Amino acid sequence: MKVLVQITHPAHVHFFRPYIEEAADLGHNVRVIAIRKEMSLDLLDSYGISYDIVCQPAKRDINQIRTQMRLTRGTYRAAKSFNPDVLTAIGGTSVSHVSKLVDGKSLVFYDTEHATLQNSITYPFAERICTPDCYQDNIGPKQVRYPGYHELAYLHPDRFEADPSVLETVGVSESDSIVILRIVSWEAAHDVGEDGFDDIRDVVQQLESTGAKVLITSEAPLPRELETNRASVPPHKMHDLMSFADLFIGEGSTMAAESAVLGTPAIYVSSIELGYTNELEEKYDLVYNCSGENKQKKAIEKAISILSDNDHQIWQHRREKLFEDKIDTTQFIIEQISDMAGHSSKT
């Protein structure tokens, strides 16, 4: 069984890594292709995953169209030479199109409802689209819902145990009050016109006034005076750090969900609303969504409240409740790929 895995974002490396590591034992011959993004390639290298680069990325607006065309062309060339039974990706525009040309099956995973343009040119061509059961849109008969999140492919307790040595790497201890602050670049096509914090300096100042050590992870350049707050941790160790944090606050929905499933309270500050962050708030009380007017003010008030009365047992109890309902997403990935390959005309 041949499986082509496409990586276009660092989060996709985390998502597919456990499957890729188990693939050989399953009898799956996997080829990984990637877009040239430094963070993605660093993660692939850190995990010892072999890959082929098939596309050079561009930035937003009209260049996104050019990048998508390059990616589709590169994916086609890779698939033509590899002849896969299954082509799989998160988002999956290119694999859904290319699969039709190489007699393969496209398996798309996605959890982002507001990527309406991308979804409109992907879903009609995909053979199967797997979404968390909290996904707000009804795609139709191609959709397979599952009780989980993307983040549980790699942070499920059966697959992840935090390494405390990361604390020494960033110069903190378990007794410190640690806050991870995430800033995004807003350059993704589906992020155009969206926003998060108004004044990052004010956010840091108010968080530090509680005595917390604020560690920033940012896709965008930081003000010079905040560079000393940048978290100096290798990308593949970030989840270890998040596990020992007292709070996550930021503009990234993926990191908010990652924090939640690790049992770290998360505040998601964004004009974007998503099914999975809504569920993590409404059902499990592990994420707090701050959107609309005064979202920064509301987020800081909530952060100070959490830090002033942070009982770790409360968050762990909520995390345990989540795992009573949710599955190991990697096991679901394996089942879906195996099932799709079983329906391939090549097997």
**Based on the domain organization, do 209 and 281 belong to the same domain?**
yes
Mean pLDDT throughout 202-207? 94
Is residue 161 in some structural domain?
no
**Based on the domain organization, do 252 and 309 belong to the same domain?**
yes
What is the Cβ-side half-sphere exposure of residue 149, based on CA atoms within 13 angstroms?
26
Say how far apart CA 182 and CA 259 lie, in whole Å: 11
Nearest Cα to 71, choosing from 34, 123, 40, 120?
34
For helices 253-262 and 312-325, the axis angle rounded to 10 degrees is 100
The reported pLDDT for the residue numbered 192 is: 42
**Based on the domain organization, do 78 and 214 belong to the same domain?**
no
| Structural domains in the chain (count) | 2
Residue 110: pLDDT over 50: yes
**CB-based contact 20:33 (threshold 8 Å):** no
For residue 230, give the DSSP letter: B
Is residue 33 in some structural domain?
yes
Say how far apart CA 201 and CA 212 lie, in whole Å: 15
**Based on the domain organization, do 41 and 121 belong to the same domain?**
yes
**Based on the domain organization, do 172 and 288 belong to the same domain?**
yes
Mean pLDDT throughout 41-46? 96
Is residue 133 in some structural domain?
yes
Residue 4: pLDDT over 60: yes
**For the chain, first and last CA: distance in Å?**
7
Question: Above pLDDT 70, what percent of the chain?
Answer: 94
Is residue 347 in some structural domain?
no
**Based on the domain organization, do 53 and 182 belong to the same domain?**
no
Mean pLDDT throughout 69-76? 95
pLDDT band of residue 347 (cuts 50, 70, 90) is low
Identify the three-state secondary structure at position 88. strand
pLDDT band of residue 65 (cuts 50, 70, 90) is confident
Torsions phi, psi of 152, nearest 5? -85, 0
The CATH number assigned to the domain holding 257 equals 3.40.50.2000
**CB-based contact 16:107 (threshold 8 Å):** no
Residue 165: pLDDT over 90: yes
**Based on the domain organization, do 173 and 318 belong to the same domain?**
yes
Is residue 136 in some structural domain?
yes
Q: pLDDT digits over 285-333, tens only? A: 999 999 888 889 999 999 999 999 878 999 999 999 999 999 999 999 9
**Based on the domain organization, do 51 and 114 belong to the same domain?**
yes
Count the neighbouring beta carbons within 10 Å of the beta carbon of residue 297. Answer: 13
**Based on the domain organization, do 150 and 171 belong to the same domain?**
no
The reported pLDDT for the residue numbered 344 is: 65
**Based on the domain organization, do 335 and 219 belong to the same domain?**
no
Cα 3 to Cα 23, 42, 50, distances in angstroms: 9, 22, 14
Where residue 337 falls (left for φ over 0; alpha for ψ -120 to 50; beta otherwise) is alpha
The reported pLDDT for the residue numbered 182 is: 94
- Average pLDDT over the chain reads 92
**Based on the domain organization, do 125 and 172 belong to the same domain?**
no
Most confident of 63-67, 200-204, 281-285, 291-295: 281-285
Is residue 234 in some structural domain?
yes
Structure-token match 């959107």, residue found: 291
Residue 338: pLDDT over 70: yes
Residue 193: pLDDT over 80: no
Is residue 120 in some structural domain?
yes
The whole-model pTM stands at 0.93
Taken in order 222, 227, 231, 235, the sign of the CA dihedral is: positive
Is residue 199 in some structural domain?
yes
- Which domain range does residue 203 map to? 166-325
The reported pLDDT for the residue numbered 191 is: 43
Residue 188: pLDDT over 60: no
Question: Which structure tokens are listed for 135?
Answer: 């996904």
**Based on the domain organization, do 200 and 65 belong to the same domain?**
no
